């Protein structure tokens, strides 16, 4: 591919910033546009067809603004829409996400893997097919953790309330014998220190962000862009700017764009 592609990246909110940070590590000069659909977050509690329609609108928004490649930095949107988006825009490379069951199955000693994600991700055919193809005989326990998405959207990644909610979601998985926890939602990457602390030293936490960023680099090839970074949101631009800095150490190179659905 050409060297100055604009890479569009999207999520329902700030979770995908964890993937964006990894993409910047892989491709430091790449021009990037990140869209947080915060006006309509969370995605994970909605029916898949609704998430699919919203993912289509966001993709169109990014393509209209010049994106050449799109990274769906959201497991829920990937589960709901990756196949449809590839079919609708055959000329556009889409990089999607799926829970990293494969590396977890290769590394588990107990033979039991815990996957944390949104309810919608577990309902999608993508998750069933990932387990079928990659669990390699390991037992897969699942837990939907919608409160973790809310925590991260509020920028609350430590403190007693966050810890309590992490403990609550992990309890069944740890009691069930999981020695590997797969993060199946990009918001959860910001909770890794807390998850590791609650799970303890015998439990590995698998974050797919770095592998997805390497896949983006494989698709783009190389990049000698201008390291532009445009942030955009359907929610509050000031809040996205602040959270991007605080959660991911990311500063946009231009003012945050605001998107108002149904209104331009
Ligand atoms: N960050 C999204 C994911 O990876 C979902 C969060 C939400 O529920 O909106 O699944």
What is the extent of the structural domain holding 119? 101-207
Pocket lined around ligand 1, Cβ cut-off 6 Å: 11-13, 15, 41-44, 74-76, 118, 121, 149, 185-187
Is 1 within a domain?
Answer: no
The ligand 1 atom nearest the CA atom of 186: 4
Whether residue 173 is found in the same domain as residue 116: yes
63 with 156, same domain: the answer is no
Asked which of 165, 186, 207 is the last residue of a domain, the reply is: 207
The CA 81 to ligand 1 mean position distance, Å, reads 13
pLDDT recorded at residue 263: 46
User: Is 263 domain-assigned?
Assistant: no
CA of 127 to the centre of ligand 1 (A): 14
Return left, alpha or beta for 205; rule: phi > 0 is left, psi -120 to 50 is alpha, else beta.
beta
Assess if residue 152 is contained within a domain: yes
107 and 160: one domain?
yes
Picking from 164, 181, 207, the residue at the C-terminal end of a domain is 207
- Give how many domains the chain has, as a whole number: 2
Query: 188 and 222: one domain?
Result: no
User: To test ligand 1's pocket by mutation, which of 9, 10, 11 has the most ligand atoms within 8 angstroms of CB?
Assistant: 11
Q: Output the pLDDT for position 89.
A: 98
Rounded distance from Cα 35 to ligand 1 centre (Å): 13
119 and 187 together in one domain: yes
> Do 109 and 52 reside in the same domain of the chain?
no
Tell me the CATH number at 15. Answer: 3.40.50.1860
Task: Looking at the structure, tell me whether residues 144 and 158 fall in a common domain.
Answer: yes
What averages of pLDDT result for each successive group of 10 residues across the chain (264 residues)? Answer: 81 98 96 97 97 98 97 98 98 97 96 98 95 95 98 96 98 98 98 98 96 96 90 97 96 96 64
> 169 and 93: one domain?
no
Atom of ligand 1 nearest to the CA of 11: 1
Residue-level pLDDT at 223: 79
Tokens 């990756």 belong to: 82
Q: Decide if 264 is inside a domain.
A: no
**Closest ligand 1 atom, CA of 44?**
8
pTM, 2 dp: 0.96
- Catalytic residue flag (residue 185): yes
């Amino acid at each position: 591919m050409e060297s100055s592609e604009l890479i569009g990246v999207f999520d329902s909110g700030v979770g995908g910033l964890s993937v964006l940070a990894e993409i910047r590590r892989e491709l430091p000069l790449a021009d990037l546009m990140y869209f947080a659909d915060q006006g309509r977050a969370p995605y994970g509690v909605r029916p898949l067809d609704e998430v699919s329609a919203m993912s289509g609108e966001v993709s169109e928004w990014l393509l209209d603004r010049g994106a050449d490649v799109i990274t769906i930095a959201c497991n829920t949107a990937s589960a709901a829409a990756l196949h449809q988006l590839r079919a609708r825009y055959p000329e556009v490379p889409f990089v999607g996400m799926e829970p990293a069951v494969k590396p977890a199955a290769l590394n588990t000693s107990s033979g039991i893997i815990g996957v944390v994600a949104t309810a919608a991700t577990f309902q999608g055919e993508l998750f069933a097919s990932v387990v079928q193809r990659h669990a390699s005989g390991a037992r897969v326990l699942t837990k939907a953790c919608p409160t973790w998405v809310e925590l991260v959207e509020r920028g609350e990644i430590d403190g007693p309330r966050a810890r309590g909610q992490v403990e609550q979601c992990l309890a069944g998985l740890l009691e069930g014998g999981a020695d590997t926890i797969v993060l199946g939602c990009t918001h959860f990457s910001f909770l890794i220190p807390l998850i590791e602390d609650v799970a303890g030293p015998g439990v590995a936490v698998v974050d797919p962000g770095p592998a997805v960023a390497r896949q983006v680099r494989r698709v783009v090839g190389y990049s000698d862009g201008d390291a532009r970074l445009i942030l955009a949101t359907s929610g509050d631009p000031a809040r996205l700017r602040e959270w991007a800095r605080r959660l991911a150490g990311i500063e946009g190179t231009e003012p945050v764009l605001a998107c108002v659905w149904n209104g331009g």
